[in-house]
């Protein structure tokens, strides 16, 4: 899906838990997520702490979208 | 002669431990066969020469989220059995299971023990590992178990005994790019003409050299000023308005949905849920922002960090959905996003 949308020239950042799958499929900008059932959350934390992590990930995704890339790039936030 | 000692690697589902709610199941070693191992032990060709002496079980999410430690534990369990051969799966079209099977089989091979696995050709684990391990090409669901075992059993025995392995088309494994020199009965020019005649007559022909498909897309240009950019959210994590109005299927989705989020600043258990099967939906149902971060994006817009969020988000279910379908949906979605002047997309996957 990432590729078919990006084929129109729109930059796409893929927030994905299993980064190797995202790389194999061919996403260009990848931000690692937390876990499969809750990629942008962590139910073990308080609501506030969880939102802080979500902000961190989205922030990294925005940074990725503003970063020129030529090859597949993983943007780590941890 | 004593039989070849085989260790079988399977996931929590095939071990009958549970579905997605048990996908965080930690590695466990059991004596003898479990679940699909029975099909191997009952296969005559296999049973004449080999026997599954132990089974290692691991939850798919646990494996993929803790690859290093999970692999270490699994390898320890496998080695403790002194196997002559390791069989992983088959994983069919289960993505995380396929990656786990490929990872384990590759590591076992590296440790000097023969290993094979099986999966559907579109399983992401197939592309990742087909050059490192023999992966029998299977159907896309467990309904193909009998057929898979029929092909995996003889190849497994050959690999374990170090016998010569035939071409991928003969043995049934996914092409791994290895070529061998041999003498054809007919010379090249004759074969080429015969192939051309078949092609012209619209008859089936088999290429002797598959062209690789470099399916890559050039990265979109970076956004210069995010505070003016219009962002759209897309997800394969199945987030839909409560009640799943379009009835998007929990697996092998036949459609995607377009949903208005302009009036939401926070997704809650009352407003949204996930239609996605194959992962434990409890966390996404309780707070869909965990998959589709609407709350944070809206906050960033308030702060002026992001220009705006596109009125609609798009969602489908990634679970077992064919690559061709995903491509079709995204091509339609992308067209709409272009028409609506969206500058960038955040796509989340579970």
Ranges A41-55, B163-177, B273-287, B292-306: which has the least confidence = B163-177
Contact B220 A17 (CB under 8 A): no
What local confidence, expressed as pLDDT, does residue B2 receive? 86
Average pLDDT, chain B: 94
Per domain, the residue ranges of chain B are: 4-171, 226-348
What local confidence, expressed as pLDDT, does residue B181 receive? 79
Q: Is A44 on the interface with B (CB under 8 A)?
A: no
Q: Is A45 on the interface with B (CB under 8 A)?
A: no
What residues contact B32, with CB distance under 8 A and at least 6 apart? B52, B53, B54, B55
Region A27-33: what's the mean pLDDT? Answer: 96
Q: Which positions 262-301 of B are in contact with A (Cβ < 8 Å)?
A: 279-284, 286-287, 289-293, 295-297, 299-300
Residue of B nearest to A11 (CA): B220
Region B108-119: what's the mean pLDDT? Answer: 96
Which among A1, A38, A50 has the least Cβ separation from residue B347?
A1
What local confidence, expressed as pLDDT, does residue B346 receive? 97
Q: What CATH number does the domain located at B4-171 have?
A: 3.40.50.2300
Q: Which positions 102-161 of B are in contact with A (Cβ < 8 Å)?
A: 124, 127-128
Closest CA to B9 of B56, B61, B70, B68: B56
What local confidence, expressed as pLDDT, does residue B172 receive? 92
- C-alpha span between B86 and B104 (Å, rounded): 9
pLDDT at B146 over 90: yes
pLDDT at B213 over 80: no
B313 within 8 A of B259, measured Cβ to Cβ: yes
What local confidence, expressed as pLDDT, does residue B20 receive? 87
Count interface pairs A-B at CB distance under 8 A: 194
Q: Is A1 on the interface with B (CB under 8 A)?
A: yes
Contacts of A41 in chain B (CB under 8 A): 283, 287, 289-291
Ranges A69-78, B55-64, B110-119, B179-188: which has the least confidence = B179-188
What local confidence, expressed as pLDDT, does residue B216 receive? 87
Q: Is B237 on the interface with A (CB under 8 A)?
A: yes
What local confidence, expressed as pLDDT, does residue B133 receive? 96
Average pLDDT, chain A: 95
Mind listing the pLDDT tens digit for each residue in B243-281?
Answer: 999 999 999 999 999 999 999 999 999 999 999 998 899
What local confidence, expressed as pLDDT, does residue B1 receive? 61
pLDDT at B236 over 90: yes
Q: Is B1 on the interface with A (CB under 8 A)?
A: no
ipTM: 0.97
- C-alpha span between A65 and B347 (Å, rounded): 12
Percent of chain A residues topping a pLDDT of 70: 100
pLDDT at B212 over 80: no
What local confidence, expressed as pLDDT, does residue B184 receive? 83
Mind listing the pLDDT tens digit for each residue in B76-92?
Answer: 999 999 999 999 999 99
What local confidence, expressed as pLDDT, does residue B94 receive? 93
């Amino acid at each position: 899906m990432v590729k078919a949308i990006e084929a129109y020239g729109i930059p796409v950042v893929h927030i994905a838990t299993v980064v190797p799958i995202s790389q194999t499929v061919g996403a260009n900008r990848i931000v690692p997520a937390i876990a499969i059932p809750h990629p942008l959350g962590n139910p073990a934390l308080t609501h506030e702490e969880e939102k802080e992590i979500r902000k961190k990930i989205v922030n990294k995704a925005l940074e990725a979208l503003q970063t020129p890339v030529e090859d597949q790039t993983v943007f780590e936030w941890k | 002669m004593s039989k070849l000692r085989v260790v079988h690697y399977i996931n929590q589902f095939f071990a009958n431990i549970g579905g997605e709610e048990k996908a965080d199941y930690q590695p466990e070693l059991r004596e003898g066969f479990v679940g699909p191992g029975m099909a191997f032990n009952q296969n005559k060709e296999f049973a004449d020469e080999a026997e599954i002496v132990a089974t290692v079980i691991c939850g798919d999410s646990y494996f993929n989220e803790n690859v290093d430690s999970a692999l270490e534990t699994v390898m320890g369990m496998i080695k403790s059995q002194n196997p002559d051969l390791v069989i992983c799966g088959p994983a069919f079209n289960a993505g995380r299971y396929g990656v786990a099977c490929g990872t384990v089989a590759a590591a076992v091979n590296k440790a000097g023990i023969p290993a094979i696995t099986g999966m559907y050709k579109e399983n992401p684990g197939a592309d990742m590992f087909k050059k490192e391990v023999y992966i029998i090409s299977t159907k896309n669901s467990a309904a193909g178990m009998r057929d898979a075992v029929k092909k995996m059993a003889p190849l497994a025995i050959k690999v374990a005994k170090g016998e010569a392995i035939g071409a991928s088309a003969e043995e049934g494994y996914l092409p791994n790019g290895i070529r061998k020199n041999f003498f054809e009965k007919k010379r090249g020019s004759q074969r080429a003409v015969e192939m051309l005649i078949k092609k012209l007559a619209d008859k089936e022909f088999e290429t002797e050299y598959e062209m690789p498909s470099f399916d890559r897309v050039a990265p979109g240009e970076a956004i210069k000023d995010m505070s003016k950019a219009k962002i759209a959210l897309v997800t394969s994590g199945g987030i839909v308005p409560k009640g799943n109005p379009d009835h998007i299927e929990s697996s092998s989705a036949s459609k995607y949905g377009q949903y208005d989020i302009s009036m939401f600043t926070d997704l809650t258990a009352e407003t949204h849920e996930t239609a996605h099967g194959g992962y434990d939906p409890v966390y996404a149902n309780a707070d869909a922002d965990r998959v589709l971060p609407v709350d944070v994006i809206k906050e960033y817009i308030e702060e002026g960090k992001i220009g705006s969020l596109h009125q609609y988000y798009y969602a489908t279910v990634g679970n077992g959905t064919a690559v061709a379908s995903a491509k079709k949906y995204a091509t339609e979605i992308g067209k709409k996003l272009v028409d609506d002047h969206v500058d960038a997309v955040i796509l989340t996957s579970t």
